[in-house]
Amino acid sequence: MSKTINTLFGPLSLPDSFFTYRKNISTVGNEEPEVSDDKYVFKFHLGGDVDLDCLKVSLKDNMLKVSYEKDSENSYTSYSSTRSLPEDANLETIKAESEGDQLTITVERKAKPEETKTRVIPITFED
């Protein structure tokens, strides 16, 4: 495409940062959380130039969203990742922590209901 633009208009002299889109945040490992008996753990790698004031973690309708948006004079940076939380996720216990270049989101799992046993109810007959 740049060859076509150069052919039509001649070489353009734009600063390197003119058309900048950078993905400064990425998941660590695969897209799935680490799962244990009592929690789900989501990990994200933050690039070195991520402004933590522009980082947002939100929850709506059982959907966990990590987003980042920064608009500066020479560049625009954005990232968004939305994950559906499992049914047994305890939405009241979500914690997000940033340490070094890693964002860790921990979601506790609800306790499994105890398996109920069938109980026979005696019938009392009246004469």
In tens digits, the chain (127 residues) has pLDDT values of 444 444 555 554 444 443 333 445 565 555 688 999 999 999 988 877 788 888 899 999 999 999 988 888 888 888 888 889 999 999 999 999 998 888 999 999 998 777 778 889 989 888 7
CA separation, residue 73 to residues 13, 19, 70, 99, 101 (Å): 18, 12, 10, 28, 24
pTM attached to this predicted model: 0.65
Which residue spans within the chain are E strands per DSSP? 25-27, 34-35, 39-46, 55-60, 63-71, 76-84, 95-99, 102-108
21-108 is a CATH 2.40.30.10 domain? no
Q: Where are the domains of the chain?
A: 21-108
Q: Hey, which residues does 105 pair with through a beta bridge?
A: 42, 96
